Amino acid sequence: MKPSGTAVPTGPAGPTRLVAKRCRSLRAWLALIALLGGCFGDPSMQLPALPEGNIDAKLRQALEELNAAALAEPTSAERRGQLAMAYDVNDFHQRAIDAYGQAAKLAPEEFDWPYYRALLTARINADYEGALESLEDALRLDDSYVPAWLWRGEWLRRLGRTDEAQAAYQRGAELGAGAPAQTGLAQLLFDAGRFQDAVAILEPLNAERSDARIERMLGRAYRATGRHEDARIASAKGQAAPVMQWLDPKLNRRLPYIAGFSNRLKHAQSLIQAGQQTNALPIARALVADRPDDVAAINTLVWALAASGRHEAAKAALRDGLKKHPEEPRLHLMLATAHQRQGGIERARRHLERVLELAPDNTTALEQLGWLLARQGKTDQGIALLEQALEKGAREPKQLLYRLGLLEGTAKRWPQAAARFQDAAQLDAAFTMAHIHLGRCLAEAGRIDEARKALDWADRIGTHAEQRASARRRLVALERSSR
Please tell me the predicted confidence (pLDDT) of residue 243.
Answer: 74
- 416: in domain: yes
Residues 6+ apart with CB under 8 A from 7: none
The backbone torsions φ and ψ at residue 236, rounded to the nearest 5 degrees and listed phi first, read -65, -40
Residues 6+ apart with CB under 8 A from 465: none
Domain end call among 237, 260, 287: 237
Please tell me the predicted confidence (pLDDT) of residue 5.
Answer: 36
Buried b / exposed e along 8-35 (16+ C-beta atoms within 10 A): eeeeeeeeeeeeeeeeeeeeeeeeeeeb
Task: Using only the alpha carbons of the chain, give its radius of gyration.
Answer: 31
Please tell me the predicted confidence (pLDDT) of residue 140.
Answer: 97
- 316: in domain: no
Please tell me the predicted confidence (pLDDT) of residue 32.
Answer: 41
pTM exceeds 0.85: no
Q: Report whether 304 contacts 280 (CB < 8 A).
A: yes
Alpha helices of 325-378 — where are they, by DSSP H? 329-341, 345-358, 363-375
CA 265/CA 287 separation, integer angstroms: 7
Please tell me the predicted confidence (pLDDT) of residue 482.
Answer: 77
Domain end call among 202, 237, 272: 237
- 385: in domain: no
Q: Report whether 362 contacts 335 (CB < 8 A).
A: no
Domain end call among 206, 222, 237: 237
Task: Compute, in degrees rounded to 10, the torsion defined by CA atoms 356, 362, 368, 371.
Answer: 90
Please tell me the predicted confidence (pLDDT) of residue 41.
Answer: 63
Please tell me the predicted confidence (pLDDT) of residue 15.
Answer: 40
Q: Report whether 349 contacts 372 (CB < 8 A).
A: yes
Predicted confidence (pLDDT) per residue in 134-191, tens digit:
999 999 999 999 999 999 999 999 999 999 999 999 999 999 999 999 999 999 999 9
Q: Give the chain's residues under pLDDT 50.
A: 1-38
- 356: in domain: no
**Residue 120, domain CATH:** 1.25.40.10
- 125: in domain: yes
Domain tally, the chain: 2
Structural domain boundaries enclosing 124: 43-47+55-237
- 181: in domain: yes
CA 435/CA 122 separation, integer angstroms: 44
- 324: in domain: no
- 31: in domain: no
